[in-house]
Structure formats: structure tokens, C-alpha cells
Amino acid sequence: MTNKTANNVGGIAADRLRSIVERVERLEDERKALGSDIRDVFTEAKSAGFDVKAIKQILKLRKQNPADVDEQEMLVDTYRRALGI
């Protein structure tokens, strides 16, 4: 069997496909490790007396456009006043 035949199966470049699959597998492993690290940081924050829900909310807000955050907060405040909360 020639090298070209071994690397091309049914019109698919097997080496390229294998490379892609292996890269995705490595990235998934890294993501799993990062998820574990993030959980550890939240555990540390909780043991230091911080409210994890509040920290997660802050993280969410920091990802948003400041103008969008201001608009959302103003709308929530308006709704709270309308409901007497």
C-alpha cells in the first residue's frame, strides 16, 4: 500500500482528520481542567466569605457593554418601583 493510499481513505485525508480530532480532544481536556480550576476559585471565594452568586453576577456584568448594563439596571429599577419593591 502506498503512503498516498494509506493517508487518503474514501476521499478523506485521514492524517488531517486525525489531527483535527486529536486537537479537539486536547482542547476538551484543557476546558475540563479550566472548569475545575474555576470551581476551585469559587470554593476559595466562598470560604473567604464572599457570595459566589454575586461574584457570578459581577462576571456577567463585566462581559456586557456598560451602556447595556446601565439601561438594564434603569429598567429593572423602574419595574421595581412600579411593583413597590
Task: Report pLDDT digits (tens) over 15-34.
Answer: 999 999 999 999 999 999 99
pTM over 0.75: no
Cβ neighbours for 7, distance < 8 A, ≥ 6 positions apart: 13, 14, 15
Q: What Å distances lie between residue 27 and 17, 34, 74, 81, CA to CA? A: 15, 10, 40, 47
CA distance 61 to 53: 12
Indicate the pLDDT class of residue 7, thresholds 50, 70 and 90. Answer: confident
Indicate the pLDDT class of residue 50, thresholds 50, 70 and 90. Answer: very high
pLDDT of 17 reads 95
